[in-house]
Amino acid sequence: MAYLFRRYVEKTGTPGEKEELFHLILNAEHDDTLRRLIAETWNEDHPSYPQDKSRADSILREILTHRASEPPPAASTTTRPPLPSASFNRSLRAILFNRRAASILGIVLLSSLTFHLFHRSKGSSIEHLPPPAVAAQTPPADRCITLPDGSKILLHKSARLDYQSGFTTKTREVTLHGEAYFDIHKDPRPFIVHTGAVRTIVLGTAFNINANNERDIVITVTKGKVKVENAKGEFSILRRDEQLLADSTHLKKTQVNLGVALAWKKTWLLFNDVTMREAMDTLARRYHLNVSFANPAAENCPVTATFNGEEPLGAIVNVLSKINNMDFTIDHDHVLIKGEGCK
Amino acid sequence: MFDTRQNIAVKTLPLTDENELLARVVEGDERAFGTIFHHYRRKIYSYAFHLSGDAVQADELVQETFLKVWLHREKLPQILRFDNYLFTIARNQVFDMLKKMAKEAEFRKQIAGLLDPEANPVEDQLLSRENELRLQHALDQLPPRQRLIFTLSRHQGMKHEEIAEQLQISRHTVKTHLVQALKTLRSVLRFPADGLLPTLLLLLTHHLCS
């Protein structure tokens, strides 16, 4: 093992040797040896690789946003889950980058449900709302609301979201009763959801909270990282595919199948600043379609729209096309998007 | 844990006013923490990158390491040599990273045959339980028909014709579904392949927004 590790560190090993090394690493019998080898090579001369400064700065910011009201107990550890690997994060970053590259666009809501829609007025205060500001409380049907910061919240059935002057220059804070899915708009201010005695602090972006029973709160993460802490100051960090059950005494983390865990929101289509291509591909998967674009440049036009999934396909495609001045035809299972699109 | 006594940092020396900075970190001073962070992150990043060849993993490792220091800053007054303490945490993270990379490599090896459209349908492979779950999770993301056809072809080793006959669809349709299923799985499982990036984006998008 020492020989193989050396070869690997010195980049002289063959692919076969690397495979063999990784095979040995998997075996817990070699853990001590591996630790020793890491320690031995730690101070040796290696080529130096500079870290991207802006990445370093944003890492520092992320660490500091962990600032809790009270320091966490010394015994707590954050274990790294095996599943959501770095390459996932990389893909995610690629998407976020794409999103950022796309410009801001109109919002289209197409639904027979009554929406309480708060217009996106970034940074503006919501003090005019009477306290406690009840964002939405309607008959039991799922509703999608957009918060002043551009975050989209899908409220399940009779769920309610309160935010009394919760949006300040430092934080964005809301209180949830019931179950909701959150797609949080990236913003330097941490987004905090209060549920019973539990606080969920968003470091990344999308997750579901079920607080139907305020003593047993279930948080499920679909994107990015989320931190959950209880009144005792215990906390846990969740990533994609992880679920946390928070009761009055414990925080219990498990791996979940998102499709099953979040079945209730499956029918909804939330396009939050995605490209036309991404939106059409999502439709193509759902309705088993072939999609083509007469003008390839139109694929990158940005769209933001929400559908509850009950609209006919034609209506959805119509809205998506019209946002960017495009036209379309549907022939059996083939959708053709025409027109120049955005510029 | 590592024995820290014999591993004294040779490349990144402690800062001259380090004790004072650390005392401020204990009180929650973010600027002092920033100074410490920027001073030491290079060495940690460089080693992590050297071993992983992956900037994202190296970035994550730096983040996890310093996050631990920040979250447990009340411990700092009891630490004699901060650099030893920090690098011990970092090396533990490197250990975890190598374990993760090894697991990933193992997984890829185990399912490579399953995802190669050119390869013959694979006999039931012995996957570790964790990998089995992971493959199952990826399969769950396929539309039902694609999943069915994939299972019939790859797990049960049925020929295209047999599947077509059983499902009363054309052989061509079977093939289309299978190709699409493999393409989807490859991207869900992040197998590199040409021209798959749009699919990957779509899948993630689909996952997040619908």
* Average pLDDT score over chain B: 77
Q: Give the per-residue pLDDT at A68.
A: 43
Residue B5 touches chain A, beta carbons under 8 Å: no
CA A122/CA B173 separation, integer angstroms? 48
State ipTM.
0.70
Q: Which residue has the tokens 């579901």?
A: A208
Compare all CA atoms of chain B with the CA of A222 and give the residue at the minimum distance. B208
Q: Which residues of A touch B143 (CB under 8 A)?
A: 285, 288
Closest by Cβ to B201, choosing from A38, A86, A278: A278
Residue A194, phi then psi, degrees to nearest 5? -95, 130
Closest by Cβ to A259, choosing from B11, B141, B190: B141
CB-based contacts of A229: which residues, under 8 Å, 6+ apart?
A68, A72, A198, A199, A201, A235, A236
- Residue A91 pLDDT > 70, yes or no? no
CB-based contacts of B7: which residues, under 8 Å, 6+ apart?
A39, A42, A43, B84, B87, B88
CB contact under 8 A, A257 and B137: yes
pLDDT band for position B116 (50/70/90)? low
Beta-bridge partners for A206: A183, A223
A32-36, B6-10, B122-126: lowest mean pLDDT where? B6-10
Residue B161 and residue B146 in contact, taking contact as beta carbons nearer than 8 Å: no
- Residue B100 pLDDT > 60, yes or no? yes
Give the pLDDT confidence of A194-216 residue by residue, as tens digits: 888 888 888 657 788 887 777 78
Residue A222 and residue A258 in contact, taking contact as beta carbons nearer than 8 Å: yes
Compare all CA atoms of chain A with the CA of B35 and give the residue at the minimum distance. A60
Residue of A52, A53, A59 best to disrupt the B interface, most CBs of B under 10 A? A59
Can you list the alpha helix ranges (DSSP code H) found in chain A? 2-9, 15-26, 31-42, 53-64, 86-101, 258-261, 276-287, 313-323
